[in-house]
Amino acid sequence: MSFLGYVRPDGSVGTRNYVGILSAVVCANDVTSRIAAEVRGSVAYTHAHGCAQTPPDLERVTRTLVSLGRNPNLAGVLLVSLGCEGVDADEVMEGIAKSGRPVDKVVIQKAGAIEAVAQGCHLARQMVSDASELHREESPNSEIRLGVKCGASDTTSGLASNPAIGAAFDMFIDEGASCVFGETTELMGAEHILARRASSPQVGKRIYEIVERLEGRVMAMGVDMRGGQPTRGNIEGGITTIEEKSLGAIAKGGSRAIRGVYEYGEVPEGKGLFIVDSPGMEPPAFTGIAAAGCQVALFSTGLGALHGFPFVPIIKVTANPDTFRRLEEHMDVYVDIHKGSSGIGEAAGTIYREVLEVASGKKTKAEIMGYVSATDIWTIGPTI
């Protein structure tokens, strides 16, 4: 099987053909958004970080911005810098440029805010014009990197929509594609099950390490995580403990061997199934998926969350009939939980075909509705 995508200079294949306007720091967000609003074919990525952070977080933000800028769905990148941020904007530019795509920047403190918008619009318009000359080409499914996230989960998530997505993951991996999942919080209590699927003892050890590391951060605060995970909505939806939530959550990762565990903001190397250390909250979790190089992502939701992403199409899947009825304009695929295993198998095939159609240009409900701007980066230390 194949899809129609945009082949990039580094050999990756995009499912979208945007110019990304990326904020180097939170202080640049308004200019970033105004440039993207003025130039069709460009999209803004904003976040709440980039300054007054400890070195590990500045390194994490830098790494994440570089990886975002190298996502196959971006034909070019304009970086918007304030001028005095902790993140090294030139380092971000150099990292993106190594992928062969055009990258430039505007500096607000040098140009002034109004002139920075004008300069940014000029640069972005030229990049969009150049990108418009590219055409979709037939590419094998092995060039797909598919991400997954679940959110606003209820009992139908673990029983139906997550397993259906997991079965679709298996189908793509068997064709040589790459798949990425994470949400480390929602591996707690099920890490031993995932470790059995590790491709090596080292990978199994890493699964335990990222879970124990996150548990340590929570314990260091001297608080109980209930109410944060599972969330109040999860509990109302029938999920009682984090272990119960995790058993349902890991189902979306399918059944194939786990080939590697990566840090947030890193790009997994090779093909197969990977874990990226990431949080349960959607905006930073989807950033981790995009930074991992995913060109399409799946989002399983029981109660109904409406998230998308600026340059990675998010296909929303639900098995809750009430949610599908109330939020039909936001849900892309319905899994009929009443059909049992036959319904899950049927839905996996539907999800598989939907991914290929979206990869070839079909718009998701989130793209049509414009729910694409809730974004952030996952940091671990204090703001200082």
Domain boundaries along the sequence of the chain: 18-133, 142-369
pTM exceeds cut of 0.85:
yes
Query: CA 165, 337, 230: angle at the middle one, nearest 5?
Result: 65
Whole-number pLDDT of residue 194 = 98
Question: Which of 209-212's residues contact partners 24+ apart within 8 Å by CB, and which partners?
Answer: 209/261, 210/184, 210/261, 210/275, 210/277, 211/184, 211/187
Whole-number pLDDT of residue 155 = 95
Q: Are strands 2-7 and 137-140 parallel, antiparallel or unpaired?
A: antiparallel
52 exposed, middle or buried (CB, 10 Å; 0-12, 13-18, 19+)? middle
Homologous superfamily of 18-133 in CATH? Lumazine/riboflavin synthase (3.40.50.960)
Determine the Cα–Cα distance for residues 69 and 293; give it in Å rounded to an integer: 10
Task: Quote the radius of gyration of the chain (alpha carbons, Å).
Answer: 20
Structure tokens at 201: 């003892």
Whole-number pLDDT of residue 153 = 95
Residue 114, number of CB atoms within 10 A of its CB: 11
Nearest to 181 by CA among 143, 134, 149, 145: 149
Whole-number pLDDT of residue 241 = 86
Find the helix or strand (DSSP H, E) in which 324 lies: helix 321-326
Residue 2 identity: S
Determine the Cα–Cα distance for residues 354 and 293; give it in Å rounded to an integer: 19
Determine the Cα–Cα distance for residues 207 and 214; give it in Å rounded to an integer: 11
Whole-number pLDDT of residue 136 = 98
Whole-number pLDDT of residue 222 = 86
Whole-number pLDDT of residue 226 = 64
Question: Splitting the chain (384 residues) into consecutive groups of 10 residues, what average pLDDT does each group show?
Answer: 97 98 98 98 98 97 98 99 98 98 98 98 98 98 98 96 98 98 96 98 98 92 77 83 91 98 98 98 98 98 96 98 97 91 91 98 98 96 92
Nearest to 1 by CA among 359, 363, 292: 359
Paired strand residues for 260: 274
